[in-house]
Structure 1
């Protein structure tokens, strides 16, 4: 259960970042990644934002 929440949070944040900066970040396979163990990401990731989303997911936040 926790692993699934973490995957969803990470994928959601990476998709959000890619939508905000499509020239800097591309995420492939995100639709299938929720049921698998692989995701292809190419570009720059805002680690601070990603860490906040992961922390929120672990803490039970939205």
Structure 2
């Protein structure tokens, strides 16, 4: 269960970042267990989403 929440949080955040900065980041949902990511990732935002997911946040 925790693993699934983490996967969803990471994928969702990367897709959100790509939608906000399409010139800097591209994310291709290659399948249920894969993402293809090309570009710059804001690690601070990604870490915050992961921490929130682990802590039980939205």
Name the structure 1 match of 2:42. Answer: 46
After TM superposition, the runs of 4+ consecutive aligned structure 1 residues lying more than 2 A away are none
**TM-score w.r.t. length of structure 1:** 0.88
Deviations 1:28-50 (A, max 9, x none): 126x2xx32x2110000000000
3-state SS, counterpart of residue 39 of structure 1: strand
Distance apart, 1:55 and its partner CA:
0.2
Name the structure 1 match of 2:12. Answer: 12
Name the structure 2 match of 1:2. Answer: 2
Unaligned runs of 5+ in 1: none
Higher share in strand:
2
Structure 2 distance, partners of 1:12, 1:29, is 11
- Count of matched residue pairs: 58
Distance apart, 1:22 and its partner CA:
0.2
